Amino acid sequence: MILVVGATGQLGTAVVRRLAAAGQPVRAFVRVGSRHEHLRMPGVELGFGDLRDAASVEAACRGARVVIATANVIVPEGRTSFEAVEGQGYAHLIATCERERIGQFIFVSMPQTAHDAAVPAFRYKRLNEQRLQSSTLPYTVLRPSLFMDDWFAFIGDASVARGAAAATIERRYWFLQVFINAVGGLIRQHGIALLPGSRRVRHAFIALDDVAGFIIGSIGREDMRGAIFEIGGPQVLSWDDVLAIYARLLGKPIRAISMPRRAYRVLRALLAPFSESASGIMGLNWLVACDTPYDANALALRLGLQLTSAEQFLQRGDGASRDTSR
Ligand SMILES: NC(=O)c1ccc[n+]([C@@H]2O[C@H](COP(=O)([O-])OP(=O)(O)OC[C@H]3O[C@@H](n4cnc5c(N)ncnc54)[C@H](OP(=O)(O)O)[C@@H]3O)[C@@H](O)[C@H]2O)c1
């Protein structure tokens, strides 16, 4: 049995679907009240609970061979806190998995930056990496670069994810909705992209489906236990490169408006007294203005994965052409 914690999120959903399609028994950890109808399919058992509810975590882990953890509160639906979920919740999840002698714990983390301590989304990922490293669990940590599905939307093209199953950009979080409604049409309608930081910052942008591929490929691999992998690609692109691809595909130039890194840093501080999550999203934008030039092509080859380039990702169309059942 493979337990997926974060199953209703976009990455968890992609993982659950692939596992079910491959005939692997999977338990999807689902919060009561969350949208989960799209996870009802043969081979998928729903385990209702919440990372803040210790007993439900214990019940979900019982009998699991592998645990895949993608749950996070960066884009919260309802009131919550990083400390309650990614702090105490993950501490209990990891301790329970140790007690249950889980065969492999696959943790989806975040890139490492020089300022992780200042932004909860990054701080708690580092904390949970350390917890895994000092546990007895056979763990695999994956640190993906930026997901194309989210970041191409954030810079002005929400069509890449709209309508896709469980897309993060469609989560019911007011701050995100305001932001996406304001910028989501900029690239296609107005030929403008709003960049976090310099247009020369380089990332190994990765398609969400390929992140799911790396997760599933890690299952049961001895050579991926007790290790941290930075994943991304197939290419490392600057924002300028991304905009050149858009220009080619749309047949019109795309003008970049770069928000200075320090603007996000200031907004993070200004929003902090009012909303941890809104402040966190500004912090995220501040920190993604650092390069993540990961080369995971050798690992992808080992796992038999064919990674999607940014051009292929954009050519395969908007969310409407993808799996929309949810
Ligand atoms: N997007 C990127 O560019 C990027 C880059 C690098 C790494 N990552 C990492 O990738 C991972 C996957 O993200 P994603 O895009 O799939 O996130 P997502 O779509 O926002 O999903 C979040 C998931 O966490 C669950 N969750 C939240 N609070 C919970 C709680 N108290 N108990 C149980 N589950 C809870 C949510 O459940 P509900 O539906 O019930 O709220 C949902 O299933 C994250 O760890 C993220 O940090 C993302």
pLDDT in tens, 201-217: 999 999 999 999 999 99
CA 190 to the chain's CA centroid: 28
**CA 19 to ligand 1 center in whole angstroms:** 18
Distance 255 CA to ligand 1 centre (A): 31
Mean pLDDT score of the chain: 93
pLDDT tens, 228-238?
A: 999 999 999 99
pLDDT value for 319: 42
Does the structure show a pLDDT above 70 at 326?
A: no
**323 pLDDT tier (thresholds 50, 70, 90):** very low
31: its two tokens: 């919060």
Average pLDDT in the 98-124 region? Answer: 95
Query: Is a pLDDT exceeding 80 seen at residue 161?
Result: yes
**Closest ligand 1 atom number to CA of residue 33:** 40
pLDDT of residue 292: 95
Give the Å distances, CA to CA, from 302 to 94, 112, 157: 28, 24, 33
The residue whose CA has the least distance to atom 5 of ligand 1 is: 146
pTM, two decimal places: 0.96
d(CA 229, CA 244): 29
Position 164 pLDDT exceeds 90:
no
Distance between CA atoms of 75 and 95, rounded to whole angstroms? 25
pLDDT beyond 90 at 80 = no
Class in CATH terms, 2-319: alpha beta
Query: Given a cut of 60, is residue 324 above it in pLDDT?
Result: no
For residue 161, how many C-alpha atoms fall within 13 Å in the half-sphere facing its CB? 26
Contacts of 55 (CB under 8 A, 6+ apart): 49
> Of 266, 282, 255, which Cα lies nearest the Cα of 196?
282
